[in-house]
Structures are given as structure tokens and as C-alpha cells.
Amino acid sequence: MIKNTNKNEANFQNMKEYPSNYILINLNNLSLNYHHIKDLLASDTCITAMVKSNAYGHGMITISLHLQKLGVESFGVFTLEEGIELTDKHFEVIEYLRNETANGSPLTIRKVGKSGITDIKGLYDLFPGGPLKKSSRIAGIPKPSSCV
């Protein structure tokens, strides 16, 4: 489970509300770190943000979009499949997967194909070579049990 926050939550008084595998990302601190690094560099220096492996488990899409708004122009990934260009249709599928996961609904390729967002062939076109596994990884959710 990933929670992105802009609030200062350094003082976790209510740790019982957070599961043991909870990742808390403070986007304000990420911004401060980016600006601190940028201030140390020559003004014409470009920064490449490494977002491989789902931004090291922190949510590739959320982190990439935030860094892009700050001025990052390039991103590094581990494999070519991680670097696919995401279209509006990709984001619709990703949002659907996240919502279904948040509601505790099991995910299957057939279920996504019947979602009205895309059919099964379209899902394979969007995320070739293991569409549910790949789309789940990009969405930052656990691999569905229906994936091998």
C-alpha cells in the first residue's frame, strides 16, 4: 500500500492505523530534495530521475508526475517495458486496477476486459507480454493472484 502525502507526518503517534508494509512518501520533502540538488548544480544541468522498479516501490506514476512538474525532463528505467509511453487509455486501466484493488476485488484479465475500458485484445495491445502483471506493476499494486 502506498500513501503519498504532503503533510508533515514525521511524528507517527497513531502507528496502529498504518499496516506494517506501509510506505509514506512526503511529496514536499521530495520537492525540497530536488530543489536542494538542483541548487548545487550548474543552471544548465539536466537531472534524470531513476524511477525503475516502480520508483523503487514508491509508485512510478505518482513520483514521475510530481518530478515532471518540478522540472525533471528525463527518467531512467530498468527495462524497456517499464519505459512505455502511457496514454490516457493506460491511465484509465491503471485507475480501474487501483480502485478494484482498494475495494478488495480480485483482478483477472477477463474482468478488466469486461470493465468497459478496453477489451482483452486492447489490454494486450496496451501492456504486451503479460498485461495484467505489467499493468499492476505500473499501477503500484500487488501482482494479482491470477498472474503467474
Please indicate whether residue 46 is annotated as part of the active site. no
C-alpha cell read off for 142: 500487488
Nearest-5° angle of CA 14, CA 16, CA 18?
90
Annotated active-site residue in 37, 134, 147, 148: 147
The Cα 117–Cα 112 span in angstroms is 8
How far apart are the C-alpha atoms of 75 and 58, rounded to whole Å?
15
- Asked if 75 contacts 48 with a C-beta cutoff of 8 angstroms, the reply is yes
Q: Kindly list the catalytic residues.
A: 147
